[in-house]
């Protein structure tokens, strides 16, 4: 059956609301992905030095989430780009498969170069908050809190620190809304042990 001009016009007109809804939905997702705010009770570092923060960090503890679950020997590398953004490379060892996994992201400062708040995207245009609430460059320690304090990381320039220092960093995370009971320690050296075990076998 051939469609009449009136039927074709009706079909074309009825597609407009759907197109408008889809456009609005995509726009809303884009806007939500771009919009990152500092959560309540989270106090980013003031006088933040982005250049000094760059480089290699070991992940000593984290609130576990799907992308890192089960990974050990986790590290993060930060490289400041010429346009002011930061390239982030996360790496971790999956003992279940005996393989390293990595992911690269881009980060942007939220409130200027002297405030330790950034938004990070592994899947653009969607961003998540990354708020440096503590950093001690002399000791080589940092505490980072994510959106709504649902994510958190305790970082160090070395793969291990003493118990007193770790307890102090956990207390800083808790003072910024993090649930200490959700933090899991991240073991390092698991990959090396597995390699040595395979050689012995």
Encode pLDDT of 50-80 as tens digits.
999 999 999 999 999 888 899 999 999 999 9
Report residue 128 as tokens. Answer: 């998540």
Supply the CATH classification number for the domain 50-193: 2.40.128.20
As a whole number of angstroms, the distance between CA 148 and CA 151 comes to: 8
> What is the pTM (predicted TM-score) of this model?
0.77
Residue 178 · residue 63 · CB < 8 Å: yes
Q: How far is CA 164 from the centre of its chain?
A: 26
Q: How confident is the model at residue 105 (pLDDT cuts 50, 70, 90)?
A: very high
**If phi over 0 gives left and psi between -120 and 50 gives alpha, with beta otherwise, what is residue 14?**
alpha
Query: How far is 108 from 182, CA to CA, in rounded Å?
Result: 27
């Amino acid at each position: 059956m051939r469609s009449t001009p009136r039927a074709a016009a009706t079909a074309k007109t009825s597609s407009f609301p759907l197109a408008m809804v889809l456009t609005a939905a995509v726009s809303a997702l884009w806007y939500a992905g771009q919009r990152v705010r500092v959560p309540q009770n989270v106090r980013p570092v003031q006088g933040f030095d982005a250049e000094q923060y760059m480089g290699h960090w070991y992940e000593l503890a984290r609130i576990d989430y799907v992308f890192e679950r089960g990974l050990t020997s986790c590290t993060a590398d930060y490289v400041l780009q010429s346009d002011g953004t930061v390239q982030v490379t996360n790496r971790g060892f999956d003992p279940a498969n005996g393989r390293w996994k990595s992911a690269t992201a881009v980060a942007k400062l939220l409130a200027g170069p002297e405030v330790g708040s950034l938004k990070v995207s592994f899947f653009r245009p969607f961003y998540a908050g990354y708020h440096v609430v503590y950093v001690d460059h002399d000791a080589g320690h940092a505490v980072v809190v994510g959106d709504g304090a649902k994510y958190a990381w305790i970082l160090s320039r070395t793969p291990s620190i003493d118990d007193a220092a770790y307890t102090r960093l956990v207390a800083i995370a808790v003072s910024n809304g993090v649930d200490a009971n959700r933090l899991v320690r991240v073991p390092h050296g698991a990959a090396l042990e597995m390699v040595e075990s395979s050689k012995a076998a």
